[in-house]
Structure 1
Amino acid sequence: MVLGRALAPDRDGLLNKVADWVASIFGHTARDPALFERALTHGSRAADTYERLEFLGDRVLGLTVSEWLYAVFPQESEGKLSKRFNALVTGAVCAEVARGLGVPERLRLGKQARDDGAADSDNVLGDVMEALLGALYLEAGLDTARGVVRRLWADRILADAAVPHHPKSALQEWAAANNRKPPVYEITDRSGPGHAPRFTIRVAIPKLTEATATGASKQEAETAAAAALLKDLTRTVSPEPVEGRPSRKSRSGG
């Protein structure tokens, strides 16, 4: 009992720090700071983790960005809006936002997870960012959560008037336009612990050239590999002319 009384002030102090931080980043006074503490808690630290809140926050972010894009780009087709949406809600983007808010320093991680680099994992940070949005939605409602997303994502949604072209789609289109077989993706290595994996992907245009990249998820690594190969191709390979004259091969393709 004496120990419990000694620990209580420390617990209150930690929750007060969480509440102060939430107020500073969201402009919201937390009624239940433990809810936001849960959004910062990884499975290596406690059983009560951010996962359920992340599930909810993912939907809050998706709805907010969808309706925002619908309003900002009234002339664009569903396909173009989808490309913009997919570029804005990736785990990597959510992780960037989380880093800007100072989330890595406030993550509740077990020692091994911290030693393994979970505090800088795009997977973990992206999920926690969505969990924080889920917690905010539960406490303050959709209007407040919507306002926070619009503030934190404003520079990204308005940064480029052109529709973003996903590297994998662009590479697929390049191959078709140049009479090449579709790109082939292959996992060549997987390393790291379960909460902070690293995937290495090789992508190849058969009988032409290839590129390799590493990422925190299979999708991230494939995207990076496609971007690297596309950059190499557009720099070193001339488009296939109408007459059918063979295009010059990439130096890396042999």
Structure 2
Amino acid sequence: MSVDESEALIDALLAEAGIRPNNPRLFRQAMTHSSYLNERGLPPWEGNERLEFLGDAVIGLVVTRTLFEMYPEKKEGELSKIKSVVVSRATLAHCAREMRLGRPLKLGVGESRSGGESRHSILAAVYESFVGAVYLDQGLDAAAEFCLRQLKPYMVDLGLGNRAQDDKSRLQELIQRRTGQIPRYRVIKSDGPDHDKWFVVEASLRGQVLAVGEGSSKKSAEQSAARSALALIEEQGEELLAKNGEMNHED
């Protein structure tokens, strides 16, 4: 992708998000991966890693403050557990995919050929760097508003243990279409008293673990595991399911 193409996509992305940048260079930087710089011999500070560092802190602050205000009755431990899911790599990568942040991302040739624009870790990082750019360009209130558009529903669902079944349904349909099987969910850990439990659930296919999720109910933990499994499949391709089935068939 050329620089002009990347910048045109960034401009469209900003317009869709309702952001009028004061310093467009920040958003160009947020979309510049270290592999792009390395191949061109450019200094690392021109990439998005510093913005990623900043955005991570901004997201953490926004989510922490919002959870504190939303759930005055919840203890620190439970708030921390909810926060860990909301700011997780799986959640942020999912948000980045919804925004199509991978499209304008400037990557090195090797990284691009290996599918870097859809890789879980890269997408989560670019979401953080984009938030960092919003914070520097628009201020904390604007950055908080931007984050909460996508992250607040996770806080509500995890806090209430009442997440819709979209991701579980999507995962089951995908696996059934590809392998003829269905995913299984198993509680591998639960903490806390009966009235205030926290669950950890694994999603598996034919005995092979695909992903792990957490939540304040079994349903929300299963949903989290399904979402993480979908993110993994999006990153590695549906061939992952075929390989999984073949390995288990051999067993």
- 1:95-122: CA deviation from partner (whole Å, max 9, x where unpaired): 1000000111111111210111211111
Alignment of 1:80-229 (within 5 A): 80-160=78-158, 161-162=160-161, 171-173=188-190, 212-213=208-209, 223=212
1:13/1:94 CA distance change after superposition, 3 Å: closer
Against the structure 1 CA distance between its residues 11 and 114, is the aligned structure 2 distance closer, same or farther, given a 3 Å change threshold?
closer
- For residues 146 and 11 of structure 2, the distance between their equivalents in structure 1, rounded to whole angstroms, comes to 16
Contact kept? 1:137, 1:145, Cα under 8 Å: yes
Task: Give the paired residue count.
Answer: 171
Describe the shift of the 1:117–1:51 C-alpha distance in structure 2 as closer, same or farther (beyond 3 A).
same
Q: Which moved more, 1:72-81 or 1:40-49?
A: 40-49
Alpha-carbon distance in 2 for matches of 1:125, 1:17: 16
- Partner of 2:62, secondary structure, is helix
CA RMSD, 1 decimal = 3.0
Find the aligned partners of 1:13 and 1:173 in 2 and give their Cα distance: 49
Point out the structure with the larger helix share.
Answer: 2
Give the Cα separation in 2 of the matches to 1:139 and 1:150.
17
DSSP 3-state at the match of 1:171: strand
Aligned residue for 1:159, secondary structure, equals helix
TM-score (norm 2): 0.60
Contact 2:55–2:130 (8 Å) recurs in 1: yes
Distance 1:50 1:14 in 2: 15
* Unpaired segments ≥5 residues, structure 2: 38-43, 164-186, 192-206, 223-251
SS of the equivalent of 2:36 reads coil
Matched, 1:43 2:31: no
Q: 2: distance between equivalents of 1:29 and 1:61?
A: 20
Higher relative contact order, chain-length normalized (CA < 8 Å, sep 6+)? 2
What is residue 171 of structure 2 aligned with on the other side? none
Q: 1:118·1:124 contact (CA, 8 Å) conserved in 2? A: yes
**For residues 136 and 19 of structure 1, what CA distance do their matches in structure 2 show?**
14
CA contact (8 A) 1:61 1:89 kept: yes
**If the length of structure 1 is used for normalisation, what is the TM-score?**
0.60
Stretches of structure 1 that go unaligned for 5 or more consecutive residues are: 1-9, 165-169, 175-210, 215-220, 232-254
Contact 1:23 1:30 in 2 (8 A): no
Name which one, 1 or 2, has greater alpha-carbon Rg.
1
Q: Find the aligned partners of 1:101 and 1:13 in 2 and give their Cα distance.
A: 17
